[in-house]
Amino acid sequence: MNEMLKPPSQPGGREAAVNAPPVVIAFLGVLVLVHGVRQFLTPETDFQVLLTFAFLPARYDASAIAGLDLPGGAWADAWTFVTYTFLHGDWLHLVFNAIWLLAFGSAVAWRFGALRFIAFSVLCTAAGAALHLAFHFGQISPVIGASAAISGYMAAAIRFMFQAGAPLGLFRIGGPDAFRIPAHGIVETLRDRRVVLFLLVWFGVNLATGLGSIALGGDTAPIAWEAHVGGFVAGLLAFPLFDPVRRR
């Protein structure tokens, strides 16, 4: 058996710091590959990549792009609801997202399986873009990063990670079975004080940082906190639609 698949409690075996399922490793690999390739592009070409694959609220306001011929056309109007997740501002932005992807994405992927995890990721990513669009219709600033999907993973994880017998240490993963504890319904979940505390901290941090800005690549860039919230709410509410474990 591959060392990464051994339960951490096995005699004579070493506990892995992070035991991520293949679909999460593949997702992370694509993120790194895309950002790595962009480092070799000319500024003009990279700008065209952003125009083609980043989420631009201005695409949906004819007056905002009057006279402009954005690449991708009508197809890009659809695919950018998802493709923006593969683009990042700089390596620090990517590393920060990679940490949370490994932590919460792994927990969700072990529970859902690869296909459900991919579909869930698409839903949360699109929901994040949709909420951002609602707040910033016509804005020319692009939205990039996997944070909306990761916010969805966080929301899904709190639906089961506080259950009795479920692992709380998301960086100490023993395999899929540890994440298949039957989940409570949304009402009972929200009665858990630990869940409420998590929600208060998560929304508080996102709202606070969203009103400020962070440095990405040496430039000051606003945080698309609305996309985070959209992904989180979608993940919290859509969890039962993807969960293969029979609910209590």
Walk me through the domains of the chain, giving residue ranges and CATH numbers. Answer: 3-8+15-242 (1.20.1540.10)
139-177: per-residue pLDDT in tens?
888 899 999 999 999 999 999 887 766 665 444 445 566
Position 15 scores a pLDDT of 44
Q: What is the pLDDT of residue 1?
A: 33
Query: pLDDT digit string (tens) for 9-67?
Result: 433 444 444 578 999 999 999 999 999 999 999 999 999 999 999 999 988 887 766 66
Structure tokens at 204: 């508080």
Find where tokens 């999907």 sit: 149
DSSP run (H or E) holding 219? strand 219-222
By the 10 Å C-beta count (0-12 exposed, 13-18 middle, 19+ buried), 122 is classed as: middle
Average pLDDT over residues 99-107: 93
- 172 Cβ partners below 8 Å, 6+ apart? 8, 15, 17
Nearest CA among 66, 61, 60, 57 for reference residue 84 = 57
Provide the β-strand partners of residue 55: 143
How many CB atoms neighbour CB 30 within 10 A? 12
Give me the amino acid identity at 100. Answer: W
**Per DSSP, what are the bridge partners of residue 219?**
216
Contact 86, 53 (CB under 8 A): yes
The residue ranking higher by pLDDT, 195 or 248, is 195
Residue 114 is predicted with a pLDDT of 95
Q: Helix, strand, coil % (nearest 5) of the chain?
A: 60, 5, 35
CA distance 213 to 196: 26
| Residue 96 DSSP SS3 | helix
Encoded tokens for 92: 């620090």
